[in-house]
Each structure stands twice: as structure tokens, then as C-alpha cells.
């Protein structure tokens, strides 16, 4: 019987262990925490958005880095396969807005609970509070795993140690060290799905959430993102769903290459907004322009718009047509400049990781060392929010487990 050691008991590791065991291997799953799935537990605000009910093509459109690497894998273990798998092991699911799939119980802990049951059923040896310290390679093959407690001779190792985000959950980048020791290159880890610090000081707007706004992002003047949704001002700059998404696209660019433009009224054309302002100003006769704009947007924002467009103390009647046009253009394209992304520890996802050019996409096996496999966030793969990142973990975990 072959021995497979799975390093890391997160989403990717648990799936890899189940499928490696179903192939008749002796499987040892080693997790340095005292329990499995510590990160899974906090996913989807404790509800775990475990996949997205979409086609493989739609899934690939939501992968930010190296979608092509996954194009075969996602057909081998698709979002539908993931849902079937979880239903088969007893976890009931439901689908919400944006095709996001959650446990019916709305408990992320249930995902780990049912996976743990399955691991037990498949007789996987689970070692908790045990840390893999080294993987020994001999003559181009995996030979043994050294932990802080023992040496394990094995035929294959699946590295599922995650990235560098939320290190308190156990993802501290150990897998990069094991991969480097095997000769692999690591694409520099970067934060993704994270808040953005801005050159503008938005501290006065802290906590202000804007719904139904459009965020545009430009890299060296070229449009790379335009989506309508929700964003949030914070003490450091901007955050919220739109900003998390855009962070994944600008995390390898110098701040001066990046420009955001916020459209506060995406539902109105410039002409319609101009007419709306004229109407509001007519109704606000005798008032200051600041007061004349209260129906148009949250009052805390008005200052920021007028600072770039007109004197806020002027009466609405004193505002020229050119100034009204300027207000329109600032409201439709409020420029925000990036200072830096928030640190990787705060990021939902780590972009970068084990170079996928050195990994076989059909098996997730290293092209450098026989018997060495990778799955999950440790690989240079990342996607937008919506259940796509866990799907990456499940798909690559399934493939690695089956081939290990
Ligand atoms: C707050 C938050 C919310 C999220 N919500 C969602 C969501 O709703 N939907 C979604 O798709 N994605 C979500 N994600 C992303 C998703 O959680 C990750 O992409 C996914 O968990 C990665 O799985 P993984 O198994 O590769 O790594 P991890 O889950 O990080 O697991 C790695 C495991 O390896 C263990 N380990 C590390 N080194 C060693 C070692 N040397 N020895 C032994 N064990 C080791 C760690 O302790 C850890 O348990 C969220 C992430 C965060 C931070």
C-alpha cells in the first residue's frame, strides 16, 4: 500500500486526503493546528460560501491569475461536482444571490464537520497539533516527511499549506519553503481581495457605505475594471466588495500607475445628472450649494465633491453652468489614487505562490520532484469573491488526491 502524506488540513488538504484514501492509499493528514479547517471556519462571514453554482467557463472568467492552468482541472471537478460531493457526504446546500452556494445550516463549521466524518470513514490518519518541518527529497523523488514529532517514510506528499493571509489560522507560508527546497520558484506573494489605502484622506467618511456606485480602475490610463456595486470608506481609504475585487487586479502595479474613478450616479447619464442638479437647485432657491445637494448624495460626501468642483458657500443661484458641469463630472468620475494595499495578513487571499509552470495541470504533481503535489492557495492561483477560491482549493485538492 502506498503512503500519502497530506500537509495542511484546510479545504484543499481535507479534499485531497479523502480522494487519496478512496484510491486505496494509506493517507496521513497532518495539521499543525489543534483542529482542522480553522480558516474554513471564518469563510463567508462564518457561513462559508463554498462554491459558485456556475459552469466551468463562468468559473474561469472569475479566476484572476492563471485561469488557463485550471481549464482542464475545473472540468474534472467542477462547481457542480463540488456540490454533488458535499450533498453525498450529507451536507445540505443552498444557493443565494450571485449563485453563491452555502451550507443550508449557514454554518461554516458544518463543512469541516462533514469533511471530518468522511475522512474518518475513509480511514485517513489525522494528526493534529503536528507540524511538518521538512520534506526530504532523494534522487528526484519524495522520500520522507519530518514533523516536530516523527519521521514518516512516504511515496507522495501533497502540500496544502495555504498562503500568507490570516496567519492566525495557520497559513504562514510553510509550503513555499518546502517548494523552494525542491527547486521550485515562488511567484512573489501579494495581498488580494483586500482594502486599499488611498492618497486622499477619507477618515471623515469612515464607515460610509455606498450602494449602487460604479468603480472604474485604470492601469497606466488603460481601463481594467468597471463594475457596479457596493463600496465602503474606512480610516485608511476604501474597502467593500468592489474594492476587494479591484485589489486583485492592481496588486502588482506601482501606486502611480493606478487610478480609480468613482461614478456616484451610474444610473444617470451626464445630461440626466445635469438636469437633476438644475431641478434640485431650483427647489433649493436661496440655499447654499451644499444644502442644494443633500438629496443627491450622503451629506458627508458633498464636501468632498464640492472641494473639487465649486465653492460650497456659494448660493445655488450663484453657481454657473460651467460649475454645474464640473459638479457632474466630479460626481461621475471622482478620482481616487492608490497609496498601497493593506497588508497581506488582512487579505482574504494570497495571490502568487508556487509557480504553476513547474506543476502538471493534469495531476498537480511537481514537474521537478516525483511524488510531490500541490493544492489550494499555496499555488499561484487566485480568483474573485463568490466561492471561486474555495472551488480552486477543492478542484486542485481533488486532482492532487487522485494522483498522489
Ligand atoms: C476571512 C476570509 C473569508 C473567506 N471567505 C471565503 C468564501 O466565503 N468563499 C471562498 O471561496 N473563499 C473564501 N476565502 C478564501 C479561502 O478561505 C481560501 O482560499 C481557502 O481556505 C484556501 O484553502 P487551502 O486549503 O489552500 O489553505 P488554508 O485554508 O489556509 O489551509 C492551510 C492549512 O495548512 C496548515 N499548515 C500550514 N503549514 C503547515 C505545516 N507546516 N504543517 C502542518 N500544517 C500546516 C494550516 O494550519 C492550515 O490549516 C476566505 C478567506 C478569508 C481569510
CA distances from 241 to 150, 209, 211, 304 (A): 44, 11, 10, 22
Question: 326, 157 in Cβ contact below 8 A?
Answer: no
Whether 171 is in the pocket of ligand 1, judged by its Cβ within 6 Å, is yes
Whether 305 is in the pocket of ligand 1, judged by its Cβ within 6 Å, is no
For the chain, give the secondary structure using H, E and C: CCEEEEECCCHHHHHHHHHHHHCCCEEEEECCCCCCCHHHHHHHHHCCCCEECCCHHHHHHCEEECHHHHCCHHHHCCHHHHHHHHHHCCCCEEEEHHHEEEECCCCHHHHHHHHHHHHHHCCCEEECCCCEEEEEEECCEEEEEEECCCEEECCEEEECCCCCCCHHHCCCCHHHHHHHHCCCCEEEEEEECCCEEECCCCHHHCCCEEEEEEEEEEECCEEEEEEEEEEEECCCEEECHHHHHHHHHHCCCCHHHEEEEEECCCCCCHHHHHHHHHHHHHHCCCCEHHHHCCCCCCHHHHHHHHCCCCCCCCEHHHCCHHHHHHHHHHHHCEEEEEEEECCHHHCCEEEEEECHHHECCCCCEECCCECEEECHHHECCEECCCCHHHHHHHHHHHHHHHHC
d(CA 29, CA 339): 41
> Atom 31 in ligand 1: which residue has the minimum CA distance?
10
Mutate which of 5, 6, 7, 8 to test ligand 1's pocket (most atoms within 8 Å of Cβ)?
8
Low-confidence ranges of the chain (pLDDT < 70): none
Distance (angstroms) between ligand 1 centre and the Cα of 155 equals 25
- What was the pLDDT predicted at 4? 98
Whether 59 is in the pocket of ligand 1, judged by its Cβ within 6 Å, is no
Question: 9, 29 in Cβ contact below 8 A?
Answer: yes
d(CA 141, CA 174): 20
Distance (angstroms) between ligand 1 centre and the Cα of 159 equals 12
Cβ-based neighbours of 17, under 8 Å, separated by 6 or more: 4, 6, 9, 27, 29, 119, 122, 124, 158, 401
Whether 251 is in the pocket of ligand 1, judged by its Cβ within 6 Å, is no
Distance (angstroms) between ligand 1 centre and the Cα of 325 equals 49
Whether 184 is in the pocket of ligand 1, judged by its Cβ within 6 Å, is no
- What was the pLDDT predicted at 335? 98
Each domain of the chain, given as residue ranges in start order, spans 3-191+346-403, 195-342
Q: Is 143 exposed, middle or buried (0-12, 13-18, 19+ CB in 10 A)?
A: middle
Distance (angstroms) between ligand 1 centre and the Cα of 222 equals 33
- What was the pLDDT predicted at 132? 98
d(CA 65, CA 40): 22
Mutate which of 19, 44, 53, 162 to test ligand 1's pocket (most atoms within 8 Å of Cβ)?
162
- What was the pLDDT predicted at 163? 98
> Atom 6 in ligand 1: which residue has the minimum CA distance?
43
Strand order in the sheet with 151-153: 132-138, 141-147, 151-153
User: How are beta strands 125-127 and 26-30 bridged, if at all?
Assistant: parallel
- What was the pLDDT predicted at 43? 98
Residue (of 89, 94, 113) closest to 41 by Cα position = 113
Could you identify the atom of ligand 1 that is nearest to the CA of residue 44?
8
- What was the pLDDT predicted at 8? 98
- Which CATH number applies to 3-191+346-403: 3.20.20.70, 3.50.50.60, 3.40.1080.10, 3.40.33.10? 3.50.50.60
- What was the pLDDT predicted at 242? 98
Whether 214 is in the pocket of ligand 1, judged by its Cβ within 6 Å, is no
Whether 51 is in the pocket of ligand 1, judged by its Cβ within 6 Å, is no
Distance (angstroms) between ligand 1 centre and the Cα of 164 equals 9
Cβ-based neighbours of 64, under 8 Å, separated by 6 or more: 192, 248, 249, 351, 382, 383, 384
CB atoms within 10 A of CB 321: 9
Distance (angstroms) between ligand 1 centre and the Cα of 288 equals 53
**Rg, Å, the chain Cα set:** 25
Residue (of 365, 394, 379) closest to 13 by Cα position = 394
Residues paired with residue 153 on neighbouring β-strands, in sequence order: 144
The pTM (predicted TM-score) of the whole model is: 0.96
- What was the pLDDT predicted at 141? 98
> Atom 27 in ligand 1: which residue has the minimum CA distance?
162
Distance (angstroms) between ligand 1 centre and the Cα of 345 equals 12
d(CA 316, CA 319): 5
Helix pair 321-332, 270-283: axis angle to 10 deg: 120
Distance (angstroms) between ligand 1 centre and the Cα of 11 equals 6
> Atom 23 in ligand 1: which residue has the minimum CA distance?
11
Whether 132 is in the pocket of ligand 1, judged by its Cβ within 6 Å, is yes
> Atom 52 in ligand 1: which residue has the minimum CA distance?
348
Distance (angstroms) between ligand 1 centre and the Cα of 291 equals 49
Whether 13 is in the pocket of ligand 1, judged by its Cβ within 6 Å, is yes
Amino acid at each position: 500500500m502506498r503512503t500519502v502524506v497530506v500537509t495542511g488540513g484546510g479545504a484543499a488538504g481535507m479534499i485531497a486526503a479523502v480522494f487519496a484514501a478512496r484510491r486505496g492509499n494509506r493517507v496521513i493528514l497532518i495539521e499543525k493546528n489543534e483542529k482542522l479547517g480553522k480558516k474554513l471556519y471564518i469563510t463567508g462571514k462564518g457561513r462559508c460560501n463554498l462554491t459558485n453554482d456556475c459552469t466551468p467557463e463562468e468559473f474561469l472568467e472569475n479566476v484572476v491569475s492563471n485561469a488557463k492552468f485550471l481549464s482542464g482541472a475545473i472540468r474534472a471537478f467542477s462547481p457542480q461536482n463540488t456540490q454533488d460531493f458535499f450533498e453525498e457526504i450529507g451536507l445540505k446546500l443552498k444557493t443565494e444571490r450571485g449563485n453563491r452556494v452555502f451550507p443550508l445550516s449557514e454554518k461554516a463549521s458544518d463543512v469541516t464537520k462533514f469533511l471530518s466524518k468522511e475522512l474518518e470513514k475513509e480511514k485517513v490518519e489525522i494528526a493534529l497539533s503536528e507540524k511538518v518541518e521538512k520534506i526530504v527529497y532523494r534522487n528526484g523523488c519524495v522520500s520522507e516527511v519530518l514533523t516536530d514529532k516523527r519521521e514518516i517514510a512516504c511515496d507522495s506528499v501533497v502540500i496544502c499549506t495555504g498562503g500568507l493571509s490570516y496567519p492566525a489560522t495557520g497559513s504562514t507560508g510553510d509550503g513555499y519553503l518546502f517548494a523552494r527546497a525542491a527547486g521550485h520558484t515562488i511567484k512573489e506573494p501579494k495581498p488580494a481581495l483586500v482594502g486599499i489605502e488611498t492618497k486622499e484622506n477619507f477618515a471623515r467618511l469612515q464607515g460610509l457605505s455606498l450602494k449602487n456606485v460604479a468603480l472604474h480602475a485604470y492601469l497606466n490610463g488603460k481601463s481594467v475594471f468597471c463594475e457596479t456595486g457596493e463600496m465602503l470608506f474606512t480610516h485608511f481609504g476604501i474597502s467593500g466588495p468592489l474594492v476587494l475585487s479591484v485589489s486583485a487586479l492592481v496588486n502588482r502595479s506601482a501606486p502611480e500607475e493606478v487610478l480609480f474613478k468613482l461614478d456616484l450616479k451610474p444610473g444617470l447619464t451626464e445630461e440626466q445628472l445635469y438636469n437633476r442638479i438644475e431641478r434640485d437647485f431650483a427647489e433649493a432657491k436661496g440655499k447654499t450649494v451644499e444644502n442644494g445637494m443633500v438629496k443627491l448624495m450622503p451629506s458627508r460626501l458633498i464636501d468632498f465633491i464640492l472641494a473639487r468642483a465649486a465653492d460650497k458657500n456659494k448660493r445655488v443661484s450663484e453657481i454657473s453652468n460651467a460649475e454645474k458641469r464640473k459638479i457632474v463630472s466630479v460626481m461621475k468620475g471622482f478620482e481616487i489614487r492608490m497609496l498601497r494595499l493593506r497588508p497581506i495578513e488582512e487579505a482574504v487571499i494570497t495571490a502568487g505562490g508556487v509557480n504553476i509552470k513547474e506543476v502538471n495541470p493534469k495531476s498537480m504533481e511537481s514537474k521537478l520532484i516525483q511524488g510531490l503535489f500541490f493544492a489550494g492557495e499555496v499555488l499561484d492561483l487566485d480568483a474573485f469573491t463568490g466561492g471561486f477560491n474555495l472551488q480552486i482549493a477543492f478542484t486542485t485538492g481533488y486532482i492532487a488526491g487522485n494522483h498522489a
